[in-house]
Amino acid sequence: MARTRVFLEVGSDGVAVITMSNPPVNALAPSIIAGLKEKYAEAMSRNDVKAIVLTGDNGKFSGGFDINVFAEVHKSGDVSVLPDVSVDLVVNTIEDAKKPSVAAIQGLALGGGLELALGCHARISTLDAQLGLPELTLGVIPGFGGTQRLPRLVGLSKAIDMMLLSKSIRAKEGKEYGLIDAIASSNDLLMVARQWALELAERRKPRLRSLHRTDKLGSLSEAHQIVFEMRQQAKKTSPHMPQHQVCLDAIEEGIIFGGYAGVLKEARLFKEIVLSTTARSLVHVFFAQRATSKVPKVTDIGLKPRHIKKVAVIGGGLMGSGIATAFLLGDIHVILKEIDSTFLQRGMKSIAANLDGLVKKGSLTLDKKSKVLSNLKGVLDYSDFRDVDMVIEAVIEKIPLKQSIFNDIEKICPPHCILASNTSTIDLEIVGEKTNSQDRIVGAHFFSPAHVMPLLEIVRTEKTSPQVVLDVMNVGKVIKKVPVVVGNCTGFAVNRTFFPYSQAAKLLVHLGVDLYRIDRVISGFGMPMGPFQLQDLAGYGVALAIKPIFSSAFKGRTFESEMLELMVDDGRNGKANGRGYYLYKPGNKLEPDSSVQAIIDESRRRAGMMLSGKPITVTDQEIVEMIFFPVVNEACRVMAEQIVVRASDVDIASILGMGFPKHRGGLLFWADTIGSSYIYSKLTSWAGSYGGFFTPSQYLEERAKKGLPLSLAGPSSSKSSRSRM
């Protein structure tokens, strides 16, 4: 393991270069902070040192404070382990010191790393260095003086924008705003920084302390107005994120009472908010996402991923064209196969439209689009499959069709080629049962739209080779997805865990709860949209196709109704044809449709529910619980059957695949904040009143009776438990 160290080297010019070294990004671990204080004290005491240059090792300044410390604080609840950086190091040791400091930045200066640089008297950077204060993504605020110094260097509006949106900028833009004093090449960086430091020491340049500047804050009334407007905007866009308002509190303190008062308040607020539920949740997500790259018996057995250069996608519909787009954006050659020229042209146009959408957003240049499309070839047969490294089948959910495709591609593709299916529900062993290559068969389940949604659910059977799993994980990262490896079962991890989501919503409607109220409550909980608007967006075809599959696989714990069939019979197909649970108007406008009530009444009649006409009475909290607790319950079964490697994989999959609110930490993390005993008691009560849909799983029952968290992995006595990993 690489050592964390801080070096001091004094040149003949009288400049001491202090270098932080903590690979890979020189994170500010407590040992680095202690080392900085020690080396600064040495530099200040030495008569041969006139000035100081602060820099980072291995081409990076610093990626910020060591987040592992946050995790320790969350376990112990003890904020005293947080080192005093803001006042003791940045103000007293660096900014107010007798000898000037210049930050020499390359690679990145993020979070606490940038805050150290802000405390220096000048900042010299390479052109493309990344600069930002992304602390709010972790539920905290800048804690080393960033809320005070950044506004004083770049202006209040730009600083708030950078902090609240966690938006980083390049050094070129930083120079334009006044954050960076000079740009230098990598080769000249230290030389320019040393010269600048000497000129500061010799008073040939003015020594400016960022904390004491006010020239870019504007008048007090202007500053108040900017903060007020940003507060209102944050309330609308980030209602569940308290750190936004807390950050503005710290900024405002400095505007009114001065920079040092702002620093003191910032430090106090930081220690309060680091223990908040939001911070705990977002730090958990940070580590959980990184944990997905570690899969036992795949990433720890010495295998090296093979490079995938050419991919074939079978099916150019919504999913197939999206998948093809994702690979093309990863600079991978793509063969798109369809059954006839009409479908093929439609698929090719869909890919072009996906790329046009990215051009309009500014995330893709026209030149890059042209280059990307040059790597695409459309075909009507398998002759171009002879040299592909991976095939992804993305056709409709019909078992015989998928089996036929896999039988064909096994014969024509090279022996090393990975045979993948994008099926969202069908057991992969059934898909590949007519082949002799089950070690090469894997699920590559993308989420729609596939070129946008970040999750890639990698499904392995008991026969899938570790090499194939590793290769798909690697190519997933190449195309900028977060790969989560799961076991093989109906619906896999995400769709299986969330099948009760829409069913619970329909059950509540059949019990008399207003459909549109349900959507409002679930959106208010933090989901991107409610379950009925989501079904409108997805269309009804997939839901109808998978309905019998789940009903068969999970007998006794599904809620059966004819509501969706009645919607289709009434000529509704959601947003696709402008009529679903909502009416869709031009300009993406939607409004409730009162005529849906007749369909609901008929569905209730056929289901034999609410025959008395009296609806149940529920609070908004009960709506959230009655919809999400069955989802948690199914996640418990997924855990018991070892479909996932670890509980936190469910959290990441729920956030990235289904839009579960990130600030709640993911499905199981959120459930553990509520407690297994409470969830079990509620489900047991509802099962008695409304049937087997709510019956608690054995895994949940065991943990509830022992008072254990649901995320705690361990053997379950459930007879259905079997390792799939």
Which residues lie below 8 Å from residue 547, measured CB to CB, with a gap of 6+? 564
CA-based radius of gyration for the chain: 29
Instruction: Give the SS3 label for residue 203.
Output: coil
For residues 146 and 163, the answer to whether their CB atoms sit within 8 Å is yes
Catalytic option among 135, 266, 338, 393? 135
Given the residues 38, 95, 115, 622, the one annotated as active site: 115
Take residue 652 and report the two structure tokens written for it.
Answer: 């990441």
Q: Which amino acid is at 168?
A: S
- The pairs formed by 445-448 with CB atoms below 8 angstroms and a separation of 24 or more are 445/492, 445/494, 446/319, 446/322, 446/323, 446/326, 446/422, 446/481, 447/494, 447/656, 447/657, 448/318, 448/319, 448/322, 448/538
Q: How many CB atoms lie within 10 A of CB 346?
A: 14
| Beta-bridge mates of residue 585 | 589
Alpha carbon of 561 to those of 164, 361, 528, 599, 614: distances in Å? 45, 41, 25, 12, 19
Amino acid at 403: Q
SS3 (DSSP) at 633 = helix
Q: Is the dihedral of CA 286, 288, 292, 296 positive or negative?
A: positive
> What region does 491 belong to: left with phi over 0, alpha with psi -120 to 50, or beta?
left
Specify the residue for token string 């790393």: 113
* Closest among 119, 112, 80, 412 to 259, alpha carbons compared: 119
Coil vs helix vs strand at 574: strand
Cβ atoms 419, 410 nearer than 8 A: yes
**Buried b vs exposed e over 641-678: b needs ≥16 C-beta within 10 Å?**
bbbbbbbbbbbbbbbbbbebbbbbbbbbbbbbeeebee
> Strand locations in 12-68, DSSP E?
15-21, 51-56
Annotation says 115 is catalytic: yes
DSSP type of residue 688: H
Q: Using a CB cutoff of 8 Å and minimum separation of 24, what contacts does 301-306 make?
A: 301/466, 303/466, 303/467, 303/470, 305/470, 305/471, 305/473, 305/474, 305/475, 306/389, 306/416, 306/467, 306/471, 306/474
Contacts of 434 (CB under 8 A, 6+ apart): 403, 406, 407
Give a three-class secondary structure readout of 299-357: CCCCCCCCCCCEEEEECCCHHHHHHHHHHHHCCCEEEEECCCHHHHHHHHHHHHHHHHH
Do 668 and 718 form a contact (C-beta atoms < 8 A)? no
**Would you say 716 and 696 are in contact if contact means Cβ atoms under 8 Å apart?**
no
Contact 721, 640 (CB under 8 A): yes
Judging by DSSP bridges, how do beta strands 582-585 and 589-592 pair with one another?
Answer: antiparallel
- Angle, in degrees to the nearest 10, between helices 494-510 and 531-538: 120
| Contact assessment for residue 112 and residue 121, using Cβ atoms and an 8 Å cutoff | no
- Which DSSP state fits 384? G
Neighbouring CB atoms inside 10 A of 364's CB total 17
Strand, coil or helix: what is 182?
strand
| Pairwise CA distance, residues 548 & 564, whole Å | 13
Q: Which residues are part of the catalytic machinery?
A: 115, 135
